[in-house]
Amino acid sequence: MALKAVSVKIDEQLLEKIDSYAEKSYQSRSQAIIQMLTSTSINVIAEGAGILKALHILHNKLNETSLTSYDKKIIKEALDEIWLLLNSATQKLTKTTTPEES
């Protein structure tokens, strides 16, 4: 396998999951990441990435527009609710599709 230098930022929680999976399956961190990414029990949701991108755009534009304070508050509350729902759905998906099941 040819090696390529790649820099990836991984949050601490994800790194802990990768390390835990690597330890349980007696693999290196790199092997564990490859296994997790190619596992059929892990779902990658492209739509989720699109939703996150749209939320970031809306959040950034919210501060730039000339909306009233009240309108901004309502939109911010709606965005916060979407973030919470998306996070909740992601947590449920993670619990139902763990690499340990394979």
Tokens representing residue 92 in the block? 């449920």
Q: Spell 29-51 as b/e; 16+ CB within 10 A means b.
A: eeebbebbeeeeebeeeeeeeeb
CA atoms within 13 A on the CB side of 90: 15
Q: What pLDDT tens digit does each residue of the chain (102 aa) get?
A: 676 777 777 788 888 888 888 898 899 988 888 887 777 555 555 566 677 778 888 888 887 778 888 888 888 888 888 888 777 776 766 665 555 544
What are all long-range contacts of 6-9, with beta carbons under 8 Å and residues at least 24 apart?
Answer: none
pTM: 0.42
- Distance in angstroms (rounded) separating the CA atoms of residues 80 and 39: 32
